[in-house]
Every structure is written in C-alpha cells, then in structure tokens.
Amino acid sequence: MASAIMNLLRLARAGIVLAQHGVRFVPPGMKVPLALTLAHAATWPVRMVAWPLRAGKPHDTRITSALASLGPSYIKLGQFLATRADLIGPELAGDLRHLQDRLPPFSMAEARLAVEEALGGRLDRHFAEFGPPVAAASIAQVHKAVVVENGERRRVAVKILRPGIEKRFKRDLDSYYFAARAIERFHAPSRRLRPMAVVDTLERTTQLEMDLRLEAAAISEMAENSGGDAEFRVPKVDWRRTARRVLTVEWIDGIPISDRVALESAGHDLGQLGQIVLRTFLRHAMRDGFFHADMHQGNLFVDERGHIVAVDFGIMGRLGLKERRFLAEILHGIITRDYKRAADVHFWAGYVPPHHPVAVFAQALRAIGEPIHGRTASEISMADLLGQLFAYTEVFDMRTRPELILLQKSMVIVEGVARGLDPNLNLWTAAEPVAKEWVDANYGVSGRLREAGEGAESLGKLLSDLPGLLEGAEQGVAAMAEMARTGVRLDADTVERIGTAEARHTRWGRAALWVGALSLLAIALALAGS
C-alpha cells in the first residue's frame, strides 16, 4: 500500500508539472466523467489552480519542456515514447522527437570523486590531464583527458555516470510499472500494445546504459563485427581505465556529421556519406543482428579519410535471425513490389494472427508500398512507412513486438541523419543492395548449406539430450501418479494464512489500482490535449 501511494504521488507530481507548462488536462470539447472530476479535485489542491501556465511556449515544445524539467528518467521516457506513435498518436510522437537529452553538468569535484572511487587511487594516477565536461546528458557526462603510456601522450574521452542516477531511475521506473499494470487491467484495448513490455524494454535499456562496462563491451563487439567495413569504425576502448561507472575510450578527432559546411570544405561527398550512414545501419541490423540504436547527428563524426565514426554506445539493439529475416524481407518485398511475399513473412514471423487472410494483408502492404514508387526521392520516407504500418496494427490485431521497438526508433533517426546530408537521397535505392545481399546470403546456396548445418547441429544436441529428457519425463509421470493416489493436502493453518493474505491483497490492491487508474487517466488526458 505504501508503495502504491508513493507511485501515485510521483505521478501526481508529473501531472502538476505538465499543467504548469501549459499542457491541457482535457482536450477541447471532451466531457469529463464525474469520477474523474472528483479525483482531479482530490489530486490538485485549490491553491494550485492559480499557478501560472507557461503557455507562451510553442505548442510542440510544451510537453518536451515539461518532461525535461521532470528529470533524467522522464527525458528517457519521452524519447522512448517518441518511437511509439501507435501508443500515443502521431502528433504527440512528433512533438517528443524535439526532446533533447541535455542537462547541466555536475561539478568537477563530483567527477573527480567518481573517477577515484571507480578506478582506485588519485585521479592523477590515471590521467595526466583531466578537463571540464564537454557534454552532459541525463545519465552521464563526458570529459576530455590525456593519458601518458611509455612516453606517449594519448587524448581520451572519459564518460562518468551522474551521482545517484541508479536510485533515481529505479524510483521512477516503479511508477511506470504501476501505470502500465493499471492500464493493462482497466483498459482492455491497450493490452494489445503491451504497456508492461514497453516499460520492460525501457528498463533493460537504461540498466545497460548505467553499467559502462557493458557499453565498452558493445563497442568491442561492434568493432569485431565491422572490422571488414571500409567506411565505418568505432573508437578503441581503454579497458585499464574503465569500470562500472567510468568509461575511457579513444578521443575522436573528426567533423560532426551535422556540420555540412565543414564537411563540404573538407571535400567530402555529402550524398555518399548519407548512403554510408543508411547502409551501415541496415547492414549492422540485418547482417549482425546488433546495431547502434542512438545514431543521431551528435553521435556521428567523419574522420579525415571520410569514414563514419560512431560514439556513445549506451543504447544498442539486438535482433534474432527471425527478426532479421522479417526486416530484410519487408524491405526487399516493398522495394521489389512483391507484397505477397512480404505479407507471408508477417504471418510466418507471427506478427499477424493466422485468422486474417494473407491476401488481405498483402493488399494493405500494397496500399503502403505503391505510393512510394510513384513519388520522387525527396518525398520517400521510412518514417512514413512505419507510421502507416502502425495504422494497420489495430486492424489486423498485430501485437507490439518489444524487440522491434528500438529498431523502429533507430530507423527514423537514421533517416533523419541521411536526409540532413542529402535531402534528395533515395532511401529505398540506397537500402536495396543491403536487403538483397542479406536475402541472397540466407536464401541462396550458401544460406541453405548453413541452415542445413545448423539443423544437423540442433538434431545432434537433441539426440544427446534425449536420455535425460526421457528420465525427467518418467520421474514426472511417477510424481503425478503419486499425487493422484494420495491427493494434495494443506494444513489448516496454511489455508487460513493464505486466505487472510489474499483478502488483504485484494482489498488494498483494488483500491490502489482504482485510484491509480483515475490519476493516470488525468495525465493521459493532459498528454492527449497538449
């Protein structure tokens, strides 16, 4: 009960901040149920009605300003929801894409203490020079430093977690889970969107971000995967100066990919760079099943050789073979206008329930794909295609796939970067070689031979495990027979304690959920009316 009350208070605070920033709690013309009005009155004290609204801000910045003022976890939540137009609507999702992950830096004294606690000993034992922060985000900030080894000076980037960030995120994630449970319980149509799974994915990504050893491992893995890619590289990790809360990597000297003037002055082909960004992302997603899930302009540089260098590997995405095949087939099917095959993949992957006709879903894909082929390169958008696919999810009872959430977000970001370099870049023409390469590799002779080898390996493992499986089955049958003969007994004291606990849980749980649902509905209405 205490936990439910704390979660309600945190959510109420979020609602108050939204109201302060001029976010409407009720869309124009919408009638408010009496129960919600009473809950609203109980939640917001009368004296708060007179609070000034920051309504002078542009419409699309009010919600982002509110979330930024709520702190790091709400910034991450907002960025995450920006990818879920199916959940919050295209207008709000568009507004949230303006949300910047920037916060004031914490002090040099705190940074020094964090390094010394993480690496042991005084800071000058590890770094010959240690400068002020050059970038500060919601989870960590970055310092430029110098190390000296064997008489050689090397410039490095040192990333440090914000003090107390783990505790802050855990507290707010508890509130998000409380909200998701209430939504799934009280709003049946939203269960298809799997709000609990959405929060699960957010929790996993933030947990990975808050262990910088895992980010170092991600850089190392991507370096191995992309070792043969001539136009892309990642910074080298300094493992001796890396720990859970501190990450040290090679300092990247390059031109920010957002600086078109500097890139042109250096003689780089912007159209070619746009193709490299797009194809690199798709190759990592489809070929490796491991991709940089935050490839925005601030995380990409161009070195003197014209290679793309990515930084900040805190958010990574993984796709299994099934999802990679789905992605390649969808791209290839729409590019080649083979809508039947693309529809078949949706059913094969389990994304569309089998009671829907394949031909009807292929017709829906045709409605999405055909207009693309009739438009100029500057008008073609992967983001638009994803939005249209979202629009069909409810019609065809498609459940949200958590493993594709980061992919969807990343495709939109990468498209924006590529468009920034070359507004006329034909995304589908650029993507076709990568999709075709994957399809040929997995459906050609080499792909069939690999699948045959994997099948033989699986069969061999099954045969080797068969004796143990049979033994376990035999023991299970014997146990079930014994239970059928003797029955299952609970003593009176156990039955009484279970009944008491269940009654208490049901009574308080139901009350907390109803109050929580009303408060959450108020916040949801605020978002919808922004």
Q: Give catalytic residue positions.
A: 294
Name 463's Cβ contacts closer than 8 Å, sequence gap at least 6: none
H helices of 71-126, where?
72-81, 85-88, 90-96, 108-119
3 state DSSP class of 94 = helix
In 3D space, the residue among 240, 247, 241, 236 whose CA is nearest the CA of residue 211 turns out to be: 247
C-alpha–C-alpha distance, residues 87 and 77, integer Å: 13
Q: How far is CA 203 from CA 88, 174, 327, 359, 498, in A?
A: 19, 10, 25, 38, 32
Closest CA to 160 of 132, 139, 135, 141: 141
- Burial-class residue 195 by CB neighbours within 10 Å (0-12, 13-18, 19+): buried
Judge whether 341 and 333 are in contact, CB under 8 Å.
Answer: yes
Read out DSSP for 8-19? Answer: HHHHHHHHHHHH
- Cα separation of 316 and 223, whole Å? 14
Nearest to 85 by CA among 302, 387, 315, 322: 387
β-partners of residue 153 are 148
Whats the size of the chain, residue-wise?
530
Report the distance separating Cα 517 and Cα 512, nearest Å. 8
